[in-house]
A and B are shown apart, each in its own frame.
Chain A
């Protein structure tokens, strides 16, 4: 009996101790990156091996990467609450601002030549082979009988890019650029007709893509251009259209000051960030379907369809303003969802 209780106690102690065993010690040749899930392939298979080879030939030292990929918002919050990533690569500036507010990232992170932006992409519409529903523009997504997929903006940064694109295209089409308060009716109308056609809001952009491609759900999927190009790189192309007026996706990267201080690997982190923005790094990003921020980099596999007119989040007033206007408690998207359920109840 006595021995049994001793064993139980010992087991508990062992469990507790092993839980805190892996403390990190400073090691200048290790770099931790905390990134959003969409860049997993380009980092893991493209950028990291290329950089490691270059680092070895320059310094004759191995570099070890510890990679973490997660939904952008979740990644930002985990870095804010203590995950010691040296480099934060996030979906949008709004998430980077979480880290700035927490003092993890310098206030002037976006003062460089590329304004802290690592890579660009476009919000596009993927459709079925041969485009049977004739989808060419945002308004086509609101037609009766078109099944649409985009993820839930509550959980997916990708969904926010998608919905912001629809919102922005409609808003900027209003003659005075949507500055007046009264003429939001057309914006609201488009957004609510599209929302009514949404079949399922998955938790992430990847799940939405899987639902569209593997389970053949819906007629159209709103997503990043690079997600569709990645699929065709992997041999399962999905045809897509670039709406004539769409949103330029700008995804930032920044050094997490508190982490590089603690790990003492600032030089390595800066070298990696510099590599990411170099022509070579941008070339790799382009090969994985992104639109490079460095105009000298071109995808090695032919030309991309050139977009029509593009707008940026800055044209819409910036992340904070759009977040409140769409997803706040009285936001446009929030209230549209409420309206929809009333219509459904009738």
Chain B
């Protein structure tokens, strides 16, 4: 602050900009969410609880969290590995691969679901072979995880990659010189630096997965108490005129997402302090 000579003119326009962006955030993001929560809570705590403890709503929420969790575990491992390969190895076509990473964001999620059905569905070649062993992917719970893996593919990679690139390799070299193997070096030296970014990517993909509708609706099978996730349940309740039940489940998803994001924020601050950044 002291370095800049702040004129009164500048301060005025700074304030205007600040308030405009805050106003924009308020209108575009906060207002709709607050409306949702107010509407969900307005009939009172008892109806809220009744809507939430409805076995269909409860199962849908459980299934959503479970599938998102399985997806996050897989994504954390494969995402970190992918980022590692992209940063540490030079191979022909690396920049092309790097560009491909974000493509899942560009595919409409319904198309993602459709592709998965065509590829793994019960009448596809792969589906027929799996069916012979009595396994099913599409219209079963594994299909949901598969869809979530696709739509949230870039998150962990994109969050780990920059940290890996900026990592000072002197520490790793020192560890190697002192006789640590590659795995020990990774586990004891590299991973402690990486884990906040792995958690950030995982948290973002988890949040993303909680609300995923378009791809899941194509692959889930939509059976209540078996394969109906919370977003599908919400859509069904809205379509059958049961708005309050839909709002209650939505507000739970919203609150979970908010908690995750706040947690990540705290974690990053804590991780930052720990590493003296």
Chain A residues within CB distance 8 Å of chain B: 1-2, 4-5, 8-9, 12, 71, 73-74, 77, 98, 147, 152-155, 198-203, 215-217, 327, 329, 337-338, 340-341, 344
Contact = CB atoms under 8 A, between A and B. Distances in A.
B139 A155 contact: no
Contacts of A215: 117-118, 121, 123
Given A12-B24, A73-B240, A215-B123, A2 B222 contact: no
A199 B222 CA distance: 9
B222 A77 contact: no
23 contacts: A2-B9, A2-B13, A5-B13, A8-B17, A8-B20, A8-B21, A9-B20, A12-B23, A77-B241, A154-B237, A155-B240, A199-B122, A200-B221, A200-B222, A201-B222, A215-B117, A216-B123, A217-B121, A217-B122, A340-B225, A340-B226, A341-B223, A341-B226
A74 B225 CA distance: 24
Contacts of B217: 203
Most buried by A among B9, B23, B222, B237: B222
B111 to A, nearest CB: 14
Give 10 nearest A-B pairs by CB, closest first.
A154-B236, A341-B225, A1-B13, A5-B16, A155-B239, A201-B222, A216-B123, A2-B13, A337-B224, A200-B139
Q: How large is the interface on B (under 10, 10 to 19, 20 to 34, 35 or more residues)?
A: 20 to 34
A166 to B, nearest CB: 17
Contacts of A201: 221-223
A215 B237 CA distance: 27
Given A1-B13, A8-B17, A337-B225, 9 more contacts: A1-B14, A1-B17, A2-B13, A4-B13, A8-B21, A153-B240, A155-B236, A341-B223, A341-B226
Most buried by B among A147, A152, A327: A152
Given A74-B239, A215-B118, A215-B121, A152 B222 contact: yes
Contact of B235 (A199, A203, A217): A203
A245 to B, nearest CB: 27
Contact of A73 (B123, B223, B226, B239): B239
B55 A338 contact: yes
A18 to B, nearest CB: 15
B42 interface: no
Given A71-B239, A203-B235, A198 B223 contact: yes
Most buried by A among B9, B226, B240: B240
A198 B23 CA distance: 49
Nearest to B114: A215
Contacts of B122: 147, 199, 217
Contact of A202 (B9, B222, B240): B222
Most buried by B among A5, A9, A203: A5
B10 interface: yes
Most buried by B among A12, A71, A200: A200
Contacts of A5: 13, 16-17, 20
A237 to B, nearest CB: 19
B54 to A, nearest CB: 8
A199 B139 contact: yes
Interface in B105-119: 117-118
Interface in B14-41: 14, 16-17, 20-21, 23-24
Contacts of B118: 215
A338 B59 CA distance: 11
A298 to B, nearest CB: 36
Most buried by B among A98, A215, A329, A340: A215
B16 A2 contact: yes
A91 to B, nearest CB: 13
Most buried by A among B14, B54, B236, B239: B239
